[in-house]
Amino acid sequence: MKYGFVSIGLKYSNILRGFLDRNESIKKDSIVLTNNMDMFHDVETIPYKNKIFSYFDKLLHPLRMVEEYRDDVLYIDVDELFNDNLLYWIKEIGTNEKSLVYLENWPKQTLAELDDKRFGIFKDMVSINHADIETIKENFIYFPKSLPSTKLIWEIETLKPIFETLTILYDEDKSTIGGGEGVALSYVLKNNNIKTIKLK
């Protein structure tokens, strides 16, 4: 299994650097998407060149790893690296797990429950059959190598400009774009009849 990390900005790069130094077994199988390449000289890295961070890269980075390496990939958000349960969660994932595994939902667990204006527009775009899709929290996601990664990437890239535009139109903070990527992932997974397992 490989580990995918997205580390944009000095704060998050410092946190990730410390975590990898404390966990050599994870470091050797990690690939970091970052705009601080010099901080990860002993880790495989991919340069992040966009000026504005898109949350969709938290999905696309691990899926592209699955596509390129034909291996299982665990995406871990840098915000979760201080969680005392992290290594336990990693062990909970079976080595032959074929389902996508995620840690938890957002407090509002389905698309139907979301009352944010952005998601109202997305609801209008999709079939009523998708109103029950789960709000996957994008902090800890296991992508098995059995996934149709190329197809999922294509579909997520199709949704990416929609969610980024909604962020620009309706979010006050314009320093990042593409929020709500877990909803997009859920939609794509349901479209492709991919089973999921929630750890918590």
Within 87-156, strands assigned E span: 100-102, 105-110, 134-136, 140-143
* Domain locations along the chain: 2-198
How far from 41 is each of 11, 13, 44, 85, 177, CA to CA, in Å?
17, 12, 8, 28, 28
3-state secondary structure of 153: helix
**Quick one: tokens of 1?**
């299994």
The answer on pLDDT for 129 being more than 80 is no
Q: Which of 166, 168, 161, 112 is nearest to 135 (CA)?
A: 112
| pLDDT at residue number 120 | 80
Please state which CATH class domain 2-198 belongs to: alpha beta
CA distance linking residue 70 with residue 50, whole number of Å: 26
- pLDDT (tens digit, 9 = 90+) per residue, 59-85? 999 999 999 999 999 999 999 999 999
pLDDT(22) > 90: yes
Q: How confident is the model at residue 95 (pLDDT cuts 50, 70, 90)?
A: low
Under the banding of pLDDT at 50, 70 and 90, the label for residue 96 is: low
